[in-house]
Amino acid sequence: MDLAVGLQRHGMHLEIVTPRHGSGWSKQFTCREMAVHRPLQLFRTGWAARADRSVSRYIRDLTRWLIENGGGADVMLCDRAREESIAVVDACRKLGIPSVVRLGGHGASSDLTFLRDDRMGARCRNSTLTADAVLVNDASSHREWLASGASPSNVHRMTPCLVPPESTATQRASIRRSLGRVNRDLFVPADTTVLLSVERMNRDSGLQQLVESALRLASDTPSLQFWLIGDGPKRDSIYNRLRGDGLSQATAMPGSFGSMDD
């Protein structure tokens, strides 16, 4: 997700494809203005060697979906060299667009270990070797992948992080105005004191001590406002404590916005 957000910040239009892990999950939603597609469901108990629960059926169905829905793409990037990489490389070949596969993970959970030791890994390895480009994270992964028979011309070493593009003063001013309009409910007069917390709302974050001191702080500082931004298992108890102390009107808890309902 970090890679997708980074690419989007550089002006690229992205659509993300990922599996569903429950029948109640939606097949499509929007995250940070990017369309997220979940056309196929995986099973919690793992692959079963029968009917539509087999890994071969999953790869075949994903390939078909990518071909039917990916005709407008300029390139397809598979974030791991696992079963999905077979579908991506095959679909790109039939659509006539470039395919990119990133070798990720570390140690025993790395793609290189999977490609070397797993039975399905051999099939994924053969498919990844035919991709138009392969991305590796470090020098050791680069050497190991070349030693496995990869062509040096289509292997590229890069980190998964992207530097945000430079913004102009005009763009920053426009962003501030937009954020100001979005967050009008957090407006306070210039002479108001705001206590801002972005700590995780759990037992060990230290936020509980702040909440227990909130009434005394509010008594000592006129017009004090508490902005508690974040989420966690103690969220409800924190809100109930502040409300019980009569501070609900002085408290804003917008949350982490991890849920689309927020």
Is pTM beyond 0.85? Reply is no
Tens digit of each residue's pLDDT (9 = 90 or more) over 171-190: 888 888 887 777 776 777 88
Tens digit of each residue's pLDDT (9 = 90 or more) over 54-89: 788 899 999 999 999 999 999 999 999 999 999 999
Single-letter amino acid, residue 15: E
Residues 215-222 have a mean pLDDT of: 92
Residues 223-231 have a mean pLDDT of: 88
133-136 β-sheet, strand order: 76-78, 99-102, 133-136, 155-157
Rounded Cα gap, residues 122 and 216, in angstroms: 65
Residues 210-217 have a mean pLDDT of: 93
